[in-house]
């Protein structure tokens, strides 16, 4: 499999799509779930449902940004919205 020439990457706005192309369109998804895991583990001093809701809420803007620059599908944005709503409802119970 031939990858695009890395010398065509001239700035940060070209870097992320290039990395996504090289990783077979998995960079955005893997990065979001790694970020979600990092936020969840750093918020683990709170109860689990609060940590999950906070991690979902904090990761959501990153998902929107990644969707805007074309790294992920809309399904992942919807997934983080659903996760945020579900875990928020769990907090309120």
Distance CA 64, CA 34 (A): 16
Q: What is the pLDDT of residue 25?
A: 84
Q: Residue 80: how many CB atoms within 10 A of its CB?
A: 22
Two structure tokens written together for 92? 């309120």
- The 3-state DSSP composition of the chain as helix, strand, coil percent (nearest 5) reads 75, 0, 25
Per-residue pLDDT at 16: 82
Name the pTM for this structure.
0.83
76 CB-near residues (< 8 Å, 6+ apart): 28, 29, 32, 63, 66, 67
How far apart are alpha carbons 13 and 52 in whole angstroms? 31
Query: According to the model, what pLDDT value does residue 5 have?
Result: 72
Specify the pLDDT at position 22.
Answer: 85
Residues of the chain scoring pLDDT < 50: none
């Amino acid at each position: 499999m031939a990858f695009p020439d890395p010398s065509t990457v001239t700035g940060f706005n070209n870097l992320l799509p290039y990395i996504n192309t090289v990783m077979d369109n998995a960079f955005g998804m893997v990065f979001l779930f790694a970020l979600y895991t990092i936020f969840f583990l750093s918020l683990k001093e709170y109860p689990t449902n609060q940590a999950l809701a906070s991690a979902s809420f904090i990761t959501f803007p990153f998902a929107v940004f990644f969707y805007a620059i074309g790294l992920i599908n809309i399904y992942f944005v919807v997934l983080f919205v659903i996760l945020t709503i579900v875990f928020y409802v769990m907090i309120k119970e």
